[in-house]
Structure 1
Amino acid sequence: MADLKSRFEAAVANSKNLSERPDNATLLKIYALYKQATAGDNAEKKPGFGDMVGRAKWDAWNGLKGTGSDDAMQQYIDLIESLS
């Protein structure tokens, strides 16, 4: 577990130094996996129609409901490594 957490933290650091900016769909996946890994299932209120970005982020995170923290961390690590 400690190894996974340290690899996750390294991937978070690496995500800030990618050579090129990922497309919006990939950015949403990165965001959702990070939130799922660090906060668990989405329990926040869904943003209104006026907040398009907030709504997209909420939908992406909510789509991972039920995914375990360790599994989300591993998926995040794999995604960041594939982008590096």
Structure 2
Amino acid sequence: MNANTLEEAVALTKKFTSKPTNEELLKIYALYKQATIGDNKEERPGGFDFVAAAKYNAWMKESGKEKAEASEEYISYVNGLSSKYM
């Protein structure tokens, strides 16, 4: 099963039967945020919130990508992962 839209790709991730790696999850998160919001304008999390910092850094790596480009990349990435996790 392959997704053709961002919404279908999001739904596909919910059907994964096992959890992707942390790196894969961060990539999914970052591409989704870039596709739906655009460049990260949030303040960098401080202290010892390592999860929030990892998400922030992953999203920052996608900065500069157009929403449409990030959306296409998200769909492609999720489709690729679906063969591994479904």
Question: Is TM (by shorter chain) over 0.5?
Answer: yes
Q: Please list every run of 5 or more consecutive structure 1 residues that lacks an aligned counterpart in the other structure.
A: 1-5
Alpha-carbon RMSD? 1.0
SS in structure 1 at match of 2:5: helix
2:42 paired residue number: 44
Amino acid of the structure 2 residue aligned with 1:64 = E
1:55 paired residue number: 53
CA deviation map 1:26-78 (0-9, x unaligned)? 00000000000000000000001311000000000011110010110011001
Amino acid of the structure 2 residue aligned with 1:70 = A
Moved over 6 A (4+): none
TM-score by length of 1: 0.90
Partners of 2:47 and 2:73 lie apart in 1 by 29
TM-score by length of 2: 0.88
2:17 paired residue number: 19
- 8 Å Cα contact 1:29/1:60 also seen in 2: yes
1:17, CA displacement in angstroms? 1.0
- Aligned-pair identity (%): 47
SS in structure 1 at match of 2:39: coil
Equivalent residue in structure 1 for 2:64, among 63, 66, 75:
66
